[in-house]
């Protein structure tokens, strides 16, 4: 009888040891599997990121076919990688495939609602298609992210699109905000100075342009500066900008306008 009891106790102890070992084995296996899954997911994201960066480089070079291939590969490698769809949207927009581009931008935003670049790019897409109200919503949404690296870009784009709907008051406000962040933004300064000059405020327009005139400027900016100085009766400044325009951009439309006036 005692032998039977001892045997039962021994068997029970062995069973407990086995159960504990089995449980620990399951836990260890589960941890290993989880680590392997996390490593695999990380590898997929790295691969998707690499293809996306390649796609962006080809897009910048306007090699749209290769860019499209790289962004597509990125989305196939990791279907949750939002930047890949943002890239697809940019390529398809450049190719005139508007329906596909819009789906791509929306997918990117759905996957990463805080992605300011995607909101800004989608806003630019909408603005270029005369959907101004929708586009400004996207630009302002991009600006809600405090980590957005280039808020001046979104403000500038909002200003340009506000001009498309002939809302010069909002446009001026957005452009002033852009310049407050990035005082040397030529695009924002040119657009704001144009608004001011058109409302016969040449002094304000001159002040807006003064920072960017110290650097390399394009023919559009030089032509606007010439008109501003002319309206202010500043003959020397006008002549200086006119000389610069003719010397740097002899074949530009603005130089032709200048020579035509002569």
Q: Mean pLDDT by 10-residue block, N- to C-terminus, for the chain (262 residues)?
A: 52 51 55 60 82 95 96 94 97 97 98 97 97 97 96 98 96 98 97 97 97 93 97 95 94 91 53
Domain 38-112 CATH (choose: 2.30.30.100, 1.25.40.10, 3.40.50.720, 3.30.70.2740)? 1.25.40.10
Domain regions of the chain by residue span: 38-112, 203-262
User: What is the per-residue pLDDT for 262?
Assistant: 46
**Long-range pairs, 59-64, Cβ under 8 A, ≥24:** 59/87, 59/90, 59/91, 59/94, 62/94, 64/91, 64/94, 64/95
User: What is the per-residue pLDDT for 43?
Assistant: 79
């Amino acid at each position: 009888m005692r032998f039977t009891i001892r045997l039962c106790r021994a068997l029970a102890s062995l069973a407990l040891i086995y159960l504990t070992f089995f449980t620990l084995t399951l836990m260890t296996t589960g941890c290993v599997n989880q680590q392997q899954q996390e490593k695999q997911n990380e590898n997929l994201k790295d691969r998707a990121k690499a293809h996306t960066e390649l796609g962006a480089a080809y897009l910048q070079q306007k090699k749209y076919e290769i860019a499209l291939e790289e962004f597509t590969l990125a989305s196939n490698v990791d279907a949750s990688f939002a930047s890949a769809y943002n890239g697809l949207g940019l390529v398809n927009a450049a190719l005139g495939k508007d329906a596909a581009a819009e789906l791509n931008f929306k997918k990117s935003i759905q996957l990463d609602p805080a992605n300011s670049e995607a909101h800004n790019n989608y806003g630019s897409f909408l603005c270029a298609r005369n959907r101004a109200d929708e586009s400004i919503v996207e630009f302002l949404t991009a600006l809600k992210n405090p980590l957005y690296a280039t808020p001046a870009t979104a403000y500038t784009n909002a200003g340009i699109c506000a001009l498309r709907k002939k809302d010069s008051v909002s446009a001026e406000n957005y452009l002033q905000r852009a310049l407050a962040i990035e005082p040397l933004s030529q695009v924002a300064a040119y657009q704001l100075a144009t608004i001011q000059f058109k409302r016969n405020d040449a002094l304000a327009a001159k002040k807006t342009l003064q920072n960017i005139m110290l650097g390399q400027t394009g023919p559009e900016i030089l032509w606007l500066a010439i008109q501003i100085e002319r309206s202010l009766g500043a003959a020397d400044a006008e002549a200086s900008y006119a000389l610069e325009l003719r010397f740097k951009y002899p074949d530009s439309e603005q130089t032709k306008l200048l020579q035509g006036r002569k």
